[in-house]
Amino acid sequence: MNDQVTHDRYGLGVVIGVEDGIAVSVDFRSRQERITAPFKRLYKL
């Protein structure tokens, strides 16, 4: 958690929750999103 990430659609964000390989919750400042696996468009910085 607290890892900085970037997403092709939502931009820069910070991981705020992890669901054991199923999904991650990310705070993108203007919105929070739950990104499900596979994480094709999500990259750790």
Which among 14, 26, 9 has a CA at the least distance from the CA of 35?
Answer: 26
Q: Look up the pTM and report it.
A: 0.90
Q: Are 3 and 18 in contact (CB under 8 A)?
A: no
User: How high is the pLDDT of residue 27?
Assistant: 98
| Predicted local distance difference test score (pLDDT) of residue 32 | 98
**The pLDDT value given to residue 6:** 98
Domains of the chain, by residue range, sit at 4-44
Are 17 and 1 in contact by the 8 Å Cβ rule? The answer is yes
Which pLDDT tens digit goes with each residue over 4-38?
999 999 999 999 999 998 999 999 999 999 999 99
Residue 25 is predicted with a pLDDT of 98
Please choose, from the candidates 29, 38, 1, 4, the residue with its C-alpha nearest in 3D space to the C-alpha of residue 16.
1
Cα three-residue angle 21-26-32, rounded to 5 degrees? 130
